[in-house]
Amino acid sequence: MSEAPFVSNILVDTDLSSVVMSDVTSKEYMLNLIQQMNKKMVIPINGYKEIVRFLLNEFNDLPYLNHELETIKVKCRYGNPERTIAKFKEDDNMILPLLTVSQDSIVEDDARRRFYPVIMNNTYFNKDTQRAERIISLCDRPVTIRYNINIWTKYMEDMDQLSQQVRLQFNPSIQLRTKFSHDSKVFLAAETNNYAFSLADREDRIIRKTFVATVETYVRSPKFRITSTGKIEEINIEAGIS
């Protein structure tokens, strides 16, 4: 049987009566206990990698017409601009046009933040025991992640075609679909002017344009199971970006 999705509610003072625990007498005590357990946990975050994989797949094989009116699909790979320029200098056989994706920054989104000292009450189906379990946690942290989508070409005509292809992907947003998230969206936030440069000892000129994409999502908080005896245990639910 497959795992059921989380069903979330917020625990308020009156909700504690539904959680029978001999060693917890108040919401404040439970909150303090969860905060202390959070400090001792180290959780691997895999959601960032999943978003990058999604974007690489989304922008891979964008088509354009070359000078012979042939449809060519452009590859997309991961790499920041500095690393990509270094590759151009090392490898004379780099194929252009090329798209690259890199993560720029992560900032907390105060406009979407819930009151932090709130306990979330969730229901999780354990397929091993075939029982529904009560899971508690602090609120997930809202963040906005910025990604740079760079287009690298030799000719202005190719740049114009691929820039239009990138814009068309956002209509007006891209539905982010990873194993951690099915409801987040990717938005086109900005684009830079074209920037042309030449590599040392090479006559070829390279044109670069950058699109800035933002993902509004949440960093999951650690989850804890309330046992039938009222104890709070760590639960091994893979953390990520929800």
What is the chain's pLDDT, residue by residue, as a tens digit (242 residues)? 444 443 434 343 334 444 444 444 456 666 776 767 666 555 556 778 889 999 999 999 999 999 999 999 999 999 998 888 888 878 777 889 999 999 998 888 777 766 656 777 777 777 887 888 888 877 778 889 999 999 999 999 999 999 999 999 998 999 988 887 777 899 999 999 888 887 766 667 899 999 999 998 887 777 888 777 767 777 765 544 55
Residue ranges of domains in the chain: 7-234
The CA–CA distances, whole Å, from 26 to 20, 133, 224 equal: 11, 21, 17
Structure tokens at 230: 């009222």
pTM of the model: 0.72
DSSP 185-222: EEEEEEEPPPEEEE-TT---EEEEEEEEEEEEEEEPPP
With 0-12 CB in 10 A as exposed, 13-18 as middle and 19+ as buried, what is 99?
A: buried
Residue 120 · residue 136 · CB < 8 Å: yes
Q: Write the DSSP symbol of residue 232.
A: E
The CA–CA distances, whole Å, from 102 to 80, 165, 201 equal: 5, 18, 27
Give the CATH fold of the 7-234 domain.
STM4215-like (3.30.2000)
Give exposure, 143-177, as e/b (b: 16+ Cβ within 10 Å).
bbbbbbbbbbbeeeebbebbbebbeebeeebbebe
Place of tokens 């000719």: 155
| Beta-carbon contacts of residue 95 (< 8 Å; ≥ 6 apart) | 75
pLDDT recorded at residue 40: 59
Give exposure, 183-202, as e/b (b: 16+ Cβ within 10 Å).
ebebebeebeeeeeeeeeee
Residue 240 · residue 45 · CB < 8 Å: yes
- Amino acid identity, residue 57? N
Alpha helices in the chain (DSSP H): 27-40, 47-59, 81-90, 156-169
Query: How far apart (Å, rounded) are the C-alpha atoms in residues 145 and 215?
Result: 5
Place of tokens 């390279």: 206
pLDDT recorded at residue 193: 86
